[in-house]
Amino acid sequence: MDCLTGGDVLDQRFAVGPGAGLSLTTQACERIYRASSGRAEVATRLNVAAGGFLAFLPQETILFHESALSRKLELETAEDAEFVLCESVILGREMMGESVRQGVFRESWRIRLGGKLVFADETRLEGDIAGQTGAAASLAGNRAFATLVARREGAESLLAPLRQAIGED
């Protein structure tokens, strides 16, 4: 499902067996349209067994004006499992003259390694999204953001090129 609106529900689960690898993506970006009532809800549950690897890299989510989305991502891994997770969000399509002034976006991440919570993140934009994202302490007027979490041998070596690519070198 790549187009959601208020009341839509998507519950997806993926598991990686011992020593196996899995790469997940989507065929198109996820579009969250104006909600006349309710919220679209997306729950993603991921499990990686011992020695496994998971790459969860869906294409970006585009939020439209007055959209409403509540999204949860839960990852449970073995202590030696590796993973790369990324979810990106775009606030309207700038080239189409779209902007997101009002809406709801809630995202919750929980990552457990060997049963222990090692990462928890909450993102919440509600109501005046344009005002909230215009502040220097949030997006400073930028229209896109992402959450990226990786646990992979040698991942540290990728920090410098990543920082350079986003202008933080």
C-alpha of 15 from chain center: 18
> How far is Cα 28 from Cα 143, in angstroms, rounded to an integer?
19
Average pLDDT on 76-90 reads 97
Pairing of strands 82-91, 144-151: antiparallel
CA distances from 17 to 20, 36, 48, 50, 113 (A): 5, 41, 7, 8, 15
The pLDDT of residue 1 is: 52
> How far is Cα 81 from Cα 153, in angstroms, rounded to an integer?
10
* Percent of the chain clearing pLDDT 90 (strictly above): 66
**β-strand partners of 53:** 21, 82
Q: Which amino acid is at 110?
A: R
Pairing of strands 67-77, 82-91: unpaired
- Average pLDDT in the chain: 92
Predicted confidence (pLDDT) at residue 71 exceeds the cutoff of 70: yes
**β-strand partners of 87:** 147
Q: Which amino acid is at 94?
A: E
Task: Please indicate, yes or no, whether the overall pTM of this predicted structure exceeds 0.85.
Answer: yes
Average pLDDT on 78-98 reads 91
Average pLDDT on 4-17 reads 93
Encode pLDDT of 149-165 as tens digits. Answer: 999 888 888 888 888 88
The band of 83, judged by pLDDT with boundaries at 50, 70 and 90, is: very high
Average pLDDT on 22-30 reads 94
Average pLDDT on 113-131 reads 95
Encode pLDDT of 29-56 as tens digits. Answer: 999 999 888 899 999 999 999 999 999 9
Predicted confidence (pLDDT) at residue 169 exceeds the cutoff of 70: no
Helices (H), 4-106: none
- Lowest average pLDDT, out of 88-92, 137-141, 159-163, 165-169, goes to 165-169
